[in-house]
């Protein structure tokens, strides 16, 4: 296996731009392969450990290359490209709407046809944005959340009833994304609200129970494992399954389970677009997708999944995603969200 050199592992360390001014916030940074070779710079919301098998396999085929992998939140990834013109060659994010805005605003280069040939039309937008994985957004439930013989909730209505009937047990023990902080969290909440009015009833219940709000799935999972949470709502399924499920269960809610398309683009300011195209083509190849599904823990792009599991609801990859990014729309949504969370 290729040598992995950790360059940065401090949560929310500020990246310093070329001028020396503080720029977007970085969560972690790792260098793969030789640091004195031609580099590919990747900016991503995906945990390094999840994509490292794919990166390692790619560099094994290209020993004359190195790769710099920077991890940041979805809002910071967007800010780095849209506002700061940070020089990255490939951008991978779970926030489909923010990625769509980058592509729609002319911030992405056209991808070569060979890089897109294996992906169905619904998994890409024009030749600018393409899905590298699809993953359900799930409920995670601690084994300590239910009494012996008690059935786990299968729908949002079931979850609402469980929380209402056991307020003392779940007070301060329910976690979900903070949509004001997390781009992916805002996307999930907005899509939930679009599909069903049960979302706002659930939000009000979570607010009365002093729900804990998070930036990311990994922190929710860590707190559920440690016992600080009993319930995690709208967690990325790949993260929930990545380290096994000892101590909790992963539930795809049967009324509907949002399915995220994790997308990639090559930003217009890429210093090494050729390297980015080649890496992306490998990631979308049969071998790359197999590594994504088996080694990396991310479900590969597969249309048949929606036939096998009709409760899955894919988030459409189209400009309709931009509607919820309108400033007025977003402000109204977050105001309603805060009202649900901050009940007396």
Render pLDDT for 97-126 as a digit per residue (tens, 0 to 9).
999 999 999 999 999 988 887 788 899 999
192 plus 292 within the same structural domain: no
Q: What is the pLDDT of residue 296?
A: 62
Contacting residues for 29 by C-beta, under 8 A, at least 6 apart: 7, 8, 9, 68, 69, 70, 71
- Report how far residue 97's alpha carbon sits from residue 105's, in angstroms, rounded to the nearest whole number: 12
Q: Are residues 154 and 214 in the same domain?
A: yes
Identify the pLDDT of residue 1: 32
What is the count of structural domains for the chain?
A: 2
Within this chain, do residues 197 and 327 fall inside the same structural domain, yes or no? yes
Indicate whether 148 and 83 sit together in one domain: no
Is residue 311 situated within a structural domain?
A: no
Instruction: State the CATH number of the domain containing residue 36.
Output: 3.40.190.10
Kindly state the tokens that stand for 59. 């560099």
169-195 tens-digit pLDDT? 999 999 999 999 888 899 999 999 999
pLDDT recorded at residue 280: 95
* 275 found inside a domain: yes
Same domain, 335 and 239: yes
Indicate whether 29 belongs to any domain.
Answer: yes
pLDDT at position 12 is 41
CB 224 within 8 A of CB 232: yes
Confidence of residue 90 (pLDDT cuts 50, 70, 90): very high
- Spell out a b/e string for 96-131, using b for 16 or more CB atoms within 10 Å of the CB, else e: bbbbbbbbbeebbbebbeebbeebeeebbbeebbbb
Would 297 be classed as within a structural domain? yes
Question: Are 189 and 124 part of one and the same domain?
Answer: no
Band (230; pLDDT cuts 50, 70, 90): very high
Whether 122 and 270 map to the same domain: the answer is yes
Same domain, 96 and 191: no
Residue 37 lies in a domain: yes
pTM of the model: 0.84
Joined tokens for residue 286: 């049969």
Residue 44 has pLDDT above 80, yes or no: yes
179 lies in some domain? yes
Identify whether residues 43 and 179 lie together within a single domain.
no
Q: Is residue 185 within a helix (H) or strand (E), and if so which, with residue range?
A: helix 183-195
Percent of the chain exceeding pLDDT 90 equals: 65
Q: What is the pLDDT of residue 173?
A: 97
Could you tell me if 112 and 161 lie in one domain?
no
Q: Which residue has the tokens 């910071």?
A: 76
Which of 296, 259, 276 is CA-nearest to residue 123?
259
Across residues 258-265, what is the average pLDDT? 94
Q: Token pair for residue 21?
A: 């001014």
**pLDDT tens-place string over residues 267-287:** 999 999 999 999 999 999 988
Stronger pLDDT, 343 or 66, i.e. the higher one: 66
pLDDT in tens, 53-85: 899 999 999 999 999 999 998 889 999 999 988
- Domain of residue 57, residue span: 4-134+262-304
215 and 250 Cβ atoms separated by less than 8 Å: no
Cα radius of gyration rounded to whole Å, the chain: 20
Whether the predicted pLDDT of 8 surpasses 50: no
Residues 183 and 93 in one domain: no
- How many Å apart are CA 33 and CA 231, to the nearest integer? 39
Tell me how far the alpha carbon of residue 14 is from its chain's centroid.
21
């Amino acid at each position: 296996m290729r040598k992995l050199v950790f360059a940065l592992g401090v949560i929310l360390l500020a990246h310093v731009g070329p001028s020396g001014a503080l720029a977007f916030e970085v969560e972690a940074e790792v260098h793969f392969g030789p640091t004195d070779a031609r580099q590919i710079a990747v900016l991503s919301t995906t945990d390094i450990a999840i994509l490292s098998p794919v990166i390692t396999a790619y560099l094994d085929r290209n020993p004359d290359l190195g790769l710099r992998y920077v991890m940041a939140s979805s809002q910071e990834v967007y800010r780095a490209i849209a506002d700061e013109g940070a020089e990255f060659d490939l951008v991978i994010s779970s926030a489909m709407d923010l990625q769509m805005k980058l592509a729609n605003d002319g911030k992405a280069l056209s991808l070569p046809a060979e890089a897109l040939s294996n992906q169905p039309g619904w998994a890409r937008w024009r030749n600018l944005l393409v899905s590298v994985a699809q993953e359900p957004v799930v409920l995670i439930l601690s084994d300590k959340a239910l009494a012996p013989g008690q059935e786990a909730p299968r729908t949002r209505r079931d979850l609402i009833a469980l929380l209402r009937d056991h307020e003392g047990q779940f007070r301060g023990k329910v976690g979900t994304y903070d949509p004001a902080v997390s781009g992916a969290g805002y996307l999930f909440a907005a899509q939930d609200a679009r599909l069903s009015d049960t979302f706002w009833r659930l939000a009000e219940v979570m607010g009365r129970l002093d729900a804990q709000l998070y930036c990311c799935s990994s922190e929710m999972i860590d707190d559920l494992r440690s016992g600080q949470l009993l319930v995690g709502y709208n967690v990325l399924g790949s993260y929930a399954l990545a380290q096994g499920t000892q101590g909790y269960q992963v539930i795809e809610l049967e009324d509907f389970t949002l399915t995220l398309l994790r997308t990639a683009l090559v930003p217009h300011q890429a210093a090494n677009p050729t390297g980015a195209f080649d890496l992306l083509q490998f990631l979308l190849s049969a071998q790359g997708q197999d590594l994504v599904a088996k080694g990396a823990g991310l479900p590969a792009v597969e249309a048949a999944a929606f036939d096998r599991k009709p409760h899955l609801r894919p988030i459409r990859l189209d400009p309709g995603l931009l509607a919820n990014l309108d400033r007025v729309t977003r402000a109204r949504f977050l105001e309603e969200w805060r009202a649900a969370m901050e009940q007396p």
